[in-house]
Amino acid sequence: KLSDSGAKARFYHAVSEAHLSRIIKVDLAEELFSYHIDDKAKRLAEMMDGKLLLVTNAEGLSAQNVIQRYKSLADIERGFKVLKSEIEIGPVYHRLPERIRAHA
């Protein structure tokens, strides 16, 4: 059986681990267990739910251009993943330049 402070601490840690601390505010200063829900933060989270937010530091790019570059990056990463999964060979170490060229 938990005391109020124990329940408060357990609830606070559960909220923090679920990354909901912006929405659910636990009042740690109160003697009794209490919390409140920030309606503005909840509405913002509901509005952003299921959406991908792309942030870039590249100036002068339009939104469409940013999305196009992001999608091409995903295609490149997918290609590398396929390459790595299909080729199952270990590294080969050469020290002579002609052996390196022959292996490549």
pLDDT tens, position by position, 38-52 = 999 999 999 989 888
Bridge partners for 25 per DSSP: 36
How far apart CA 93 and CA 7 sit, in angstroms, is 59
Q: What is the pLDDT of residue 90?
A: 62
Task: Specify whether 35 is located in the same domain as 63.
Answer: no
CB atoms within 10 A of CB 48: 10
Q: What is the pLDDT of residue 40?
A: 96
Q: Tell me which residue range forms the domain holding 76.
A: 52-92
The fraction of the chain above a pLDDT of 90, given in percent, is 27
Task: Specify whether 8 is located in the same domain as 29.
Answer: yes
Average confidence (pLDDT) over 43-69? 90
DSSP 50: T
87, pLDDT greater than 90: no
Q: Is residue 27 part of a domain?
A: yes
35, containing H or E segment: strand 35-37
Q: Is residue 98 part of a domain?
A: no
Q: What is the pLDDT of residue 89?
A: 60
Q: Is residue 63 part of a domain?
A: yes
Q: Is residue 19 part of a domain?
A: yes
Overall domain count for the chain:
2
Task: Specify whether 40 is located in the same domain as 65.
Answer: no
93, pLDDT greater than 80: no
Task: Specify whether 32 is located in the same domain as 65.
Answer: no
Q: Is residue 97 part of a domain?
A: no
pTM: 0.48
